[in-house]
Structure 1
Amino acid sequence: MDTENVKATLTIDAPAASVFAVLADPVTHSAIDGTGWVQESVDRVPLTEVGQIFRMDMYHPNHPNGDYQVVNKVELFDTARTIGWLTGYEKDDGDLEFGGWIWRYDLTPLGPSETGVTLTYDWTAVPPYVREYLQFPPFAPDHLANSLQHLSGLVPRTGEGANPVA
């Protein structure tokens, strides 16, 4: 694979601030997820700043325990423009370790009530030892597009439906 990221874009008939509000609420993340792996947000406080930590309960049939928990750290936060987080886990000693991949949403206002949303999953910073046991991306190609469709369904509407742009 030549690139170490995948992207999908969708136009949503809603202001960027409305789309961002849904993304900044960890409670909505299980409904946005296109894989079905995200089960529930452990932390229910809205995301407000870089460095903020939030946890998610997960399930994957190929995970050694099936059920597990991830720790996310907000890396990008520009209200109504960009939000992104690294995903990792809490080690036995309580320290947090992140795998090097990031989920990023970029919002582009296309008018007062229309927003272009690009979701990027980037694994450029994943170290070699993680690549030995995880394949990237670890989900089907349609995951990002599914996630954006789910996001679109959660955002309060100002017009008709959402229109795909990629």
Structure 2
Amino acid sequence: MGQENQEKVSATLAVAVPADTVFAVLADPTAHAAIDGTGWVQEPADPAPLTEVGQIFRMDMYHANHPDGDYQVANKVQVLDPPRTIGWLTGREKEDGHLEFGGWLWRYDLAPLGPSETEVTLTYDWSAVPRYIREYIQFPPFGPDHLSNSLRHLAELADREQGSPQHKASHHP
């Protein structure tokens, strides 16, 4: 990684799944715990699909080093251009109900390589994080394998999703 982008990290993976399917998985907050490579993401408090910029979706989280252990984040959709780009800022809801964002962004860029293959790039960008937050949070707050692990998880989920409509149709309870 060159000196020029010290404020972001990214990983890219080609998956044998159409971009629409990959995007649908990313736009489904109930899939995020399974995509996450850290084990921090638990369950979505707002499971509705992500459909517009500005949409807020909260996630229950767990982190051993967090003061509370269990906590909740409020994510705000920052970019949404199906089936090419989706990204969100992560923040929290303060006691007064206002949302506060730390300045870091998760972003997925999808580039179709063909009708049934997609190149997915996951970027974690902390360039907008103010200095006072950097004083007590180290960026990036995860190890170097996290992004590629997440992309592998995403590929597995999207692959399963790709095969699921037939299964749903044929197995009525």
Letter in 1 for 2:21: S
1:59-98 counterparts in 2 under 5 A?
A: 59-98=62-101
Alignment length, in residue pairs? 159
Query: Structure 1 residue 141 and structure 2 residue 144: aligned?
Result: yes
Q: Distance in 2 between matches of 1:12 and 1:147?
A: 13
Query: Structure 1 residue 21 and structure 2 residue 24: aligned?
Result: yes
Question: Match of 1:108?
Answer: 111
Q: Which has the higher helix share?
A: 2
Q: Distance in 2 between matches of 1:81 and 1:65?
A: 36
Letter in 2 for 1:111: G
Q: Distance in 1 between matches of 2:120 and 2:17?
A: 11
Deviation at 1:156, TM superposition (A): 3.1
What is the DSSP-based 3-state SS (H/G/I as helix, E as strand, rest coil) of the residue aligned with 2:22?
helix
Q: Give structure 2 stretches of 5+ with no counterpart.
A: 164-173
Q: What are the superposed Cα offsets for residues 2-26 of structure 1, whole Å, 9 maximum, x if unpaired?
A: 3100000000101100000000000
Letter in 1 for 2:142: F
Question: Match of 1:41?
Answer: 44
Deviation at 1:152, TM superposition (A): 0.4
**Further displaced range: 61-70 or 150-159:** 150-159
Letter in 2 for 1:84: G
Question: Match of 1:125?
Answer: 128
- Asked which structure has the greater CA Rg, the reply is 2
Deviation at 1:42, TM superposition (A): 0.8
Which residue of 77, 95, 102 corresponds with 1:99? 102
- TM-score normalised by length of structure 1: 0.93
What is the DSSP-based 3-state SS (H/G/I as helix, E as strand, rest coil) of the residue aligned with 1:54?
strand
Structure with greater contact order relative to length (CA < 8 Å, sep ≥ 6): 1
Question: Match of 2:166?
Answer: none
Question: Match of 1:162?
Answer: none
Q: Distance in 2 between matches of 1:4 and 1:91?
A: 26
What is the DSSP-based 3-state SS (H/G/I as helix, E as strand, rest coil) of the residue aligned with 1:102?
strand
Q: Distance in 2 between matches of 1:130 and 1:91?
A: 16
